[in-house]
Amino acid sequence: MVSRLSLPGVVFSIFLISSCFPCQAQLSSNFYDSTCPNALATIRTAIRRAVSSERRMAASLIRLHFHDCFVQGCDASIMLDNSPSIDSEKFSFVNTNSIRGFEVIDGAKAQVESICPGVVSCADIAAVAARDASVAVGGPSWTVRLGRRDSTKASRSLADSNIPRATNSFSELIDMFSRKGLSERDMVALSGSHSIGQARCVTFRARIHDNSSDIDAGFASTRRRSCPSTSGDGNNNLAPLDLVTPNCLDNNYFRNLIQRRGLLQSDQVLFSGQSTDSIVTEYSRNPSLF
Angle, nearest 10°, between helix axes 184-191 and 170-179?
110
d(CA 232, CA 14): 34
Catalytic one of 56, 63, 67, 207: 67
Q: Is 209 annotated as a binding residue?
A: no
Is the CB of residue 195 less than 8 Å from the CB of residue 9?
Answer: no
The single-letter code of the amino acid at 54 is E
Is the CB of residue 129 less than 8 Å from the CB of residue 104?
Answer: yes
DSSP string of 6-38, one letter each residue:
--HHHHHHHHHHHHSS--SS--BTTTTTTT-TT
DSSP character at residue 198: E
Is the CB of residue 80 less than 8 Å from the CB of residue 86?
Answer: yes
Q: Is 184 annotated as a binding residue?
A: no
Q: Is 164 annotated as a binding residue?
A: yes
Q: Is 244 annotated as a binding residue?
A: no
The single-letter code of the amino acid at 166 is A
Q: Is 194 annotated as a binding residue?
A: yes
The single-letter code of the amino acid at 228 is P
Q: Who contacts 273 (Cβ-Cβ below 8 Å, separation ≥6)?
A: none
Q: Is 242 annotated as a binding residue?
A: yes
Q: Is 191 annotated as a binding residue?
A: no
Is 65 annotated as catalytic?
A: no
H helices of the chain, in order, are: 8-19, 39-53, 57-69, 102-115, 122-136, 156-162, 170-179, 184-191, 201-209, 217-224, 252-258, 265-268, 277-285
Q: Is 77 annotated as a binding residue?
A: yes
Q: Which residues are annotated as a binding site for heme b?
A: 194
Sequence ranges of the binding site for Ca(2+): 68, 71, 73, 75, 77, 89, 242, 245, 250
| Residues tagged in the binding site annotation | 68, 71, 73, 75, 77, 89, 164, 194, 242, 245, 250
**Which positions are annotated as active-site residues?**
67
Please report, in range form, the residues annotated as the binding site for substrate.
164
